[in-house]
Amino acid sequence: MSTSDRTDRGRHGQLFPEPAATTGKGTASLVTASIDGGARGNPGPAAYGIVLRKADGTTLLEAGKYVGRATNNVAEYYGLIAALDAAAQRGVRGLRVESDSELLVRQMQGKYRVKSPDLKPLHERAERLARGFERFEIAHVPRERNREADRLVNAALDGERGESRSREFATKIETRQNEPGGPLVRARYTRGTFQPEEAVDLPEGTEVFLTIRPISRKAE
């Protein structure tokens, strides 16, 4: 990580507090989300894995999902967004995210700039979701402490046709079905993926049909 990718905002400029500053009973009461994402080829076939657990160790959700062709960093952000969305849907008020991606964690803490055009919209969405919790913190953990989420990533990548593999341990949540005549959303096609240019109000993981109507072609 070069110094040009970092920004020193100072203690008061950080988006979210350092985990070390929030130890004790408060941290012990938080739901923990272990997240991971990876791509084989970078970019290449990619997936994310998330594990949500209550403070008493009860597992709320284990999920791995294939996301198509993407980079490692994009897959990591998909995992973060999926975890934030899943926690919010379950009424979680205090969340601690643990990831072995130093880049993602430092960007969410405001210590590293988000320079990649592929990551900027994902980072902005993650910030909006994170601010919806009464208490949120994010911490970098060693890879060996993130093996469960990593296992789910590989399971999703190894699954037949890249299908999502997930297990629910809590009450199942109703998901919205695709409705005919849905909203028209402008998106940009970059490196094999479509990136919406505006917020899309859908549960993470929702599958949709795309009707391709090119607006313009990139100059050769």
Percentage of residues in the chain having pLDDT higher than 70: 66
Q: How confident is the model at residue 209 (pLDDT cuts 50, 70, 90)?
A: low
Mean pLDDT of the chain: 79
Residue type for position 44: G
Lowest mean pLDDT among 36-40, 185-189, 198-202: 198-202
pTM reported for the whole predicted model: 0.66
- Domains identified in the chain and CATH numbers: 16-169 (3.30.420.10)
Whose CA is closest to 35, among 159, 113, 152? 152
Which distant-in-sequence residues (6+ apart) come within 8 Å of 177 by Cβ? none
Residue identified by tokens 């909203």 is 183
Alpha-carbon span 97 to 90, nearest angstrom:
15
Q: Which two tokens stand for residue 123?
A: 């980072």
Residue identified by tokens 């950080």 is 14
Whose CA is closest to 22, among 37, 32, 8? 32
- Quick check: 72 and 48 in contact, CB under 8 A? no
Whose CA is closest to 169, among 70, 76, 31, 47? 31
Q: What is the pLDDT of residue 77?
A: 98
Burial class of residue 14 (count of CB atoms within 10 Å of its CB; 0-12, 13-18, 19+): middle
Is residue 211 pLDDT above 80, yes or no?
Answer: no
Tens-place pLDDT, residues 163-183: 444 444 433 333 333 334 566
